[in-house]
Amino acid sequence: MRLAPLVLFSAVLAACASAPPAPPVVAPVAVAPPPVAPVPLAPPAPEPVAATPLAPAALPFDLATLQRKQIYQMTPAEVGRYIAYMHSTEPDLRKRIAAIGRKNIGQPYVLNLLGEYPYELHDNLPMFSLQASDCVVFAEHTYAMALSQSWEEFFWMLQRIRYKDGVIGVATRNHYTEVDWNINNAWLVSDVSALLAGTDAPTYEMKIDRAAFLKMRHNTASGIPVQLSQEAYVAKDKVAKVAAQLQDGDLVNVISTRGGKFWASHVGIIVIDANGQRNFLNSAEPQVREESFEAFFARTAAREERNGKNGMKLAGFKFLRLNDHIVVPPAAPQPRPGPPLAALPKATASASASASATAAINGPAGSAIR
């Protein structure tokens, strides 16, 4: 933009009257005033520009709608909003676990729901389930939701709980309750069964062949060695004496026996009702329910009667205390998958399987549940 400076000049005035001539007058010399600083001109108005359309706003958070729904009736987006709301309104983790677990009462029970699909192709089972649950899926989803503030954090937390060190894979999944799930989630819960049962706590020994289990159940080769474990539990007739020591959010392992063998056949979560009674919140046929231990005993006794003397019997429970100060450990790096074992030379395939198995799972054995 060019600015033209404005310069002011003085005018010379001359007299022209008819009076007698006057002495000559010397005209003053015109002197230009000092230059005036240029005055900036206002910039021209910009050409109108069409506004960039905004991204569609997220749907408003309709608390009333979500309060009318159970979690298994929600979409993932609704679950994300609900758990964010719960995290902001209920700071007590124990109470949050109980509330979220109860928000799934009525969820249909379906056994063997989850896998690693599409990360691994040994089956087509997904990595989360909202519409249905089995006992383990229910407990895992409840803990993961209570520890999270968004859908994305929930999904990450769920895998951190389901797998050793959070590394996704069928060989690293916590298949064995006592020594995979309980031990690999020691940052979340601690086994207090021996403490509750006292010095005469009953125990059982277990022998686990993970390699055989993975090959038979998941058609996955591994070289994991056989391992042993000894586990303490609270006998079923002692539960009434220790129930008052249980707290919201504690984990329950139901210990069953048949043919001289013992294992954790079922899991659930402790919740305390308005009267202070310790109840068992769990997913079992046909749906998630909250029940007293007396009701659970009666239901189990009816099943044992139907199954006859050779059927599975209830032995007792393992109780795991929800830790007071939980620090969620970071997940280990997800390793880059290698070629399928069938594509490797025989010696290389054997070494690869052994190395992968050793890196995947360490620790003593437990009972297979999935």
State both tokens at 63: 């608390």
C-alpha 126: how far from chain center: 15
By the 10 Å C-beta count (0-12 exposed, 13-18 middle, 19+ buried), 324 is classed as exposed
- Is the pLDDT at 341 greater than 70, yes or no? no
Q: Tell me what pLDDT residue 222 has.
A: 84
- Is the pLDDT at 39 greater than 90, yes or no? no
- Indicate the pLDDT class of residue 72, thresholds 50, 70 and 90: very high
Query: Of all helices (H) and strands (E), which one includes residue 186?
Result: none
Q: Are 248 and 95 in contact (CB under 8 A)?
A: yes
- Is the pLDDT at 268 greater than 60, yes or no? yes
- Is the pLDDT at 343 greater than 80, yes or no? no
- Per residue in 112-130, pLDDT (tens digit) is 899 999 999 988 999 999 9
State both tokens at 58: 């997220």
- Is the pLDDT at 23 greater than 60, yes or no? no
Lowest mean pLDDT among 14-18, 264-268, 294-298: 14-18
Taking each helix axis from N to C end, the angle separating 135-146 and 151-162, rounded to the nearest 10 degrees, works out to 130
- Indicate the pLDDT class of residue 362, thresholds 50, 70 and 90: very low
Q: Are 274 and 258 in contact (CB under 8 A)?
A: no
Which residues are bridge partners to 320 per DSSP?
A: 191, 251
Distance CA 275, CA 185 (A): 31
Distance CA 314, CA 192 (A): 19
Q: Tell me what pLDDT residue 219 has.
A: 84
Which residues, including other chains, have CB under 8 Å from residue 207's CB and lie 6 or more apart? Answer: 226, 227, 228, 365
Distance CA 211, CA 226 (A): 8
Q: Tell me what pLDDT residue 117 has.
A: 95
Q: Are 300 and 239 in contact (CB under 8 A)?
A: no
Query: In sequence order, what E strands does 209-356 have?
Result: 227-232, 234-235, 251-258, 261-272, 278-284, 287-292, 313-322
Query: Of all helices (H) and strands (E), which one includes residue 343?
Result: none
- Per residue in 183-214, pLDDT (tens digit) is 999 999 999 999 999 999 999 999 999 899 99
- Backbone phi and psi for residue 176, each to the nearest 5 degrees, phi listed first: -105, 120
Q: Tell me what pLDDT residue 11 has.
A: 39
Domains and CATH numbers, the chain: 63-324+338-360 (2.30.260.10)
State both tokens at 291: 């029940």
Number of H-type helices and E-type strands within the chain: 11, 9
Alpha helices by DSSP H, 116-250: 135-146, 151-162, 182-184, 193-197, 210-218, 239-242
- Per residue in 143-179, pLDDT (tens digit) is 999 999 999 999 999 999 999 999 999 999 999 999 9
Summary mean pLDDT of the chain: 84
Q: Tell me what pLDDT residue 36 has.
A: 54
End-to-end CA distance of the chain: 78
- Indicate the pLDDT class of residue 46, thresholds 50, 70 and 90: low
Percent of the chain past pLDDT 90, that is, above it, reads 69
- Backbone phi and psi for residue 292, each to the nearest 5 degrees, phi listed first: -70, 160
State both tokens at 38: 């240029």
Distance CA 168, CA 335 (A): 9
